[in-house]
Amino acid sequence: MSTLIYWFRNDLRLTDNPAFTLASQQALQHGLRLLPVFCHAPPETTRWGFARVGLHRQRVLADTLLDLETQLRSLGSAPLHLHGQPANVLPALARVLQASTVMAEDIAAPQEQGEVAGLRAAGLTVQTVWQSSLLDPAELPFEVTALPAVFTQFRTGVEKAAVQVRQPLPAPSTVAPLPAMWDADSDRISHPDLAQLLTSNWPLAPTNKGQEAMNIDALDRVSLPYHLPAFQGGERTGLAHLRRYLAAKLPHSYKATRNQLSGTDYSSKFSPWLASGALSAPTIYAELKAFEVEFGANDGSYWLWFELLWRDYFRFLHLQTNDTLTLWRQGQTGVPLVDAAMRELHQTGYLSNRLRQVVASHLIYDLGCDWRAGAAWFESQLVDFDIYSNQGNWLYIAGLGTDPRGGRRFDVAKQTRDHDPDGSYQRLWLQG
């Protein structure tokens, strides 16, 4: 019987996890086995010389995973903990299981998109589900590519259109069975091809508690005491925290207290659970609305919605950037001079200096994308790629370099008139 792999990412929960629920339902409908998997990234040092995931995050993640594991086990399932980059370990796992499909939540950030691309390049079918926002991008009153450039316009647009938040899904009551290869004795899949990939130090030693990470003498100074049972990572603690926060009627004072600097109650402290996916934004919203029905709405409870919209806005900006960047790279922006230039770059690996300036400016100022993505595309394509010249020019145009004028915006219409008045360059690359 074939196996479907469910890859947990930043969605470490069972309640209101549409992607996991769908995977389990599909497996049950088609008589498949379901293997939940989590990939522990190898320790990594950033280019700035410190750990990418420090001790605090390690502890919260470990507690979150332990909770997920307990819940999966109560349903007769269990996660397989793999050690390594997803693009390496998941194809190896799929080979052992003779599986071809991975399901996971969609994450719009570049590295996470690269992970999915890596799995696809390895021949796997990857089905991703967008689920980390409060609002469904498809329900927005504008295309994601036309997301307002200003948050207030985004918020008022959403509020005027009365965009509805979906109802949270309950946790599944049944989960499709583990693969037959799951070995009850070792409590994992024992296969020589996986020996190097299985995480040997999971679960983390119980002594590795938050107190060690906090590195302070008086723990009562802590605003987010994740070392205490009530605040530790994990879905069940997150749901209990949410209910405690509402039962104490703290939303009513939220707007007045939210800019305080220290303490557990001045703000919601939902963020670690939201970030790991232990709590979903629609779950918080549904409970908040029920609170307002019972105890009344005020500007404090409204302001929690307002902040959750900020969270969504930052997510949608990533979706927008991905879509827009793809159009820019492919020469499909609809701006003829830019599209001609981007096609020349992609097809030949070279572009004149003036056009490099024009397309870089267009990406940064007209399309609102991150200059680093543009610099990375140039790095990928240019036959004369030189780290100093590429970085220096992008920084200069973005206004982050050594230019006292603070940024160089090129007016594409004027550039077209000045440098391609008869359209011959555009015809050269837009035709054929």
- Give the footprint of ligand FAD on this chain (CB under 6 A): 258, 267-271, 274-275, 304, 307-308, 310-311, 314
In whole angstroms, the minimum distance from the beta carbon of 132 to ligand FAD comes to 11
Burial of 250 (C-beta count, 10 Å sphere; 0-12/13-18/19+) = buried
CB atoms within 10 A of CB 406: 9
Residue 225: strand, helix, or coil: coil
The residue among 304 and 345 lying less far from ligand FAD, judged by its C-beta, is 304
In whole angstroms, the minimum distance from the beta carbon of 310 to ligand FAD comes to 4
The closest of 59, 65, 14, 58 to 228, measured between CA atoms, is: 59
In whole angstroms, the minimum distance from the beta carbon of 303 to ligand FAD comes to 8
Helices 299-330/371-381 angle, 10° precision: 20
How would you write 36-63 as a 3-class SS string? EEEEECCCCECCCCCECCCHHHHHHHHH
The residue among 202 and 313 lying less far from ligand FAD, judged by its C-beta, is 313
In whole angstroms, the minimum distance from the beta carbon of 313 to ligand FAD comes to 8
Residues whose CB is less than 8 angstroms from the CB of residue 18 and which lie 6 or more positions away in sequence, other chains included: 129, 131, 169
The residue among 291 and 429 lying less far from ligand FAD, judged by its C-beta, is 291
In whole angstroms, the minimum distance from the beta carbon of 58 to ligand FAD comes to 16
In whole angstroms, the minimum distance from the beta carbon of 282 to ligand FAD comes to 13
In whole angstroms, the minimum distance from the beta carbon of 151 to ligand FAD comes to 10
The residue among 267 and 416 lying less far from ligand FAD, judged by its C-beta, is 267
Q: How far apart are CA 345 and CA 383, in angstroms?
A: 10
The residue among 188 and 241 lying less far from ligand FAD, judged by its C-beta, is 241
DSSP 231: G
Strands 33-40, 188-189: pairing kind: unpaired
Q: Tokens in use for 301?
A: 């409870």
In whole angstroms, the minimum distance from the beta carbon of 37 to ligand FAD comes to 25
Q: How far apart are CA 190 and CA 186, in angstroms?
A: 7
366-369: long-range contacts, CB 8 A cutoff, minimum separation 24: 366/335, 366/412, 367/324, 367/328, 367/333, 368/149, 368/320, 368/321, 368/324, 369/321, 369/324, 369/325, 369/328
The residue among 84 and 110 lying less far from ligand FAD, judged by its C-beta, is 110
The residue among 46 and 431 lying less far from ligand FAD, judged by its C-beta, is 46
The residue among 101 and 268 lying less far from ligand FAD, judged by its C-beta, is 268
